[in-house]
Amino acid sequence: MQRYRFDISYDGTAYVGWQIQPNGLAIQEVIQDAMERILCKRIKLHGSGRTDQGVHARKQVAHADISSSWLPGKLTTALNAVLPPDIRIMRATKVPQTFHARHSVRLKEYRYFIWNSDVMPPTKRHYATHMRQPLDAVAMQKAADYLVGTHDFSAFSANPKRHVESHVRRLERLDIRKRGAEITIIAAGEGFLYKMVRSLAGFLMRVGEGTVPPATAKEILASAVRTARVPTAPPEGLFLWNVTY
């Protein structure tokens, strides 16, 4: 068996998320179906992590063990020929059996896009969250600085309906960038809790609109309790941007 790594990009608008679920079509399922058409065998695809319904990926990483030895370039071309246009294999590479798309991750980067203007361009409606009220990016960065580091992020996660051993995570980076009407929240860490990035984005938007002062971030972290001060931001603004090994 040869292990292959796949760098995948997708528009998550039409899907229930990355992972196969009983309530709709998932990206993982679509790619596994394409592999079965090409390889005439059901292949299990292992992703670097889950993305929610409506969330996109500039770079998701997955691996699969395949018995026949395909040239990576030809395998990429064959899969893209049968995949829908909103999912693409950007690159396939042969990797050692020790590589694991999830367990070998060193850093994940997510980006959350906000369009902060009276009018939302229709071409951005699936790829950014619209906020009409002016946001204070400086205040948002002040709040973000309190959140960087190793903390119990219970207050910034949702119930995943599965056992989680620890809510402690290390947030390596949480930056706010503003270019014209576009505000980007950049979050990087080894791993994230369920809906953690969208929760961070929802809180930072509250700070930006002046509803919550930046220093409240410390109080919320210490409480380890989810409150209305931490809303979950809409999914369409979120991208899995990069995975580093």
Are both 83 and 115 inside the same structural domain? no
CATH number for position 41: 3.30.70.580
Are both 218 and 111 inside the same structural domain? yes
Quote the domain boundaries for residue 145.
107-244
Residue 213 domain flag: yes
Are both 81 and 178 inside the same structural domain? no
Residues in Cβ contact with 74 at an 8 Å cutoff, skipping those fewer than 6 apart: none
Are both 111 and 200 inside the same structural domain? yes
Helices vs. strands in the chain: H and E counts, helices first: 5, 10
**Marked catalytic residue, from 7, 11, 33, 52:** 52
Residue 100 domain flag: no
CB neighbour burial string for 155-187, b if at least 16 within 10 angstroms, e if fewer: bbbeeeeeeeeeeebebeebebebeebebbbeb
Are both 143 and 166 inside the same structural domain? yes
Contact 128, 234 (CB under 8 A): no
pLDDT number for residue 77: 98
pLDDT number for residue 161: 65
Amino acid at position 134, single letter? P
Residue 84 domain flag: yes
Residue 202 domain flag: yes
Residue where one domain finishes, among candidates 95, 118, 146: 95
CATH number for position 219: 3.30.70.660
Are both 75 and 183 inside the same structural domain? no
Are both 70 and 116 inside the same structural domain? no
- Half-sphere exposure (Cβ direction) of 205: Cα atoms closer than 13 Å: 26
Are both 119 and 208 inside the same structural domain? yes
Are both 236 and 126 inside the same structural domain? yes
d(CA 25, CA 190): 28
Residue 24, Ramachandran bin (φ over 0: left; ψ between -120 and 50: alpha; else beta): left
Please name the residue that has the structure tokens 């409480």.
223
pLDDT number for residue 165: 86
Residue 102 domain flag: no
Residue 26 domain flag: yes
- Based on the structure, what is the number of domains in the chain? 2
136 included as an active-site residue: no
Contact 100, 5 (CB under 8 A): no
Are both 72 and 127 inside the same structural domain? no
Mean pLDDT by 10 residues, the chain (245 residues): 97 97 96 97 96 97 93 97 98 98 98 98 97 98 98 91 85 98 97 96 98 97 94 97 98
pLDDT number for residue 163: 75
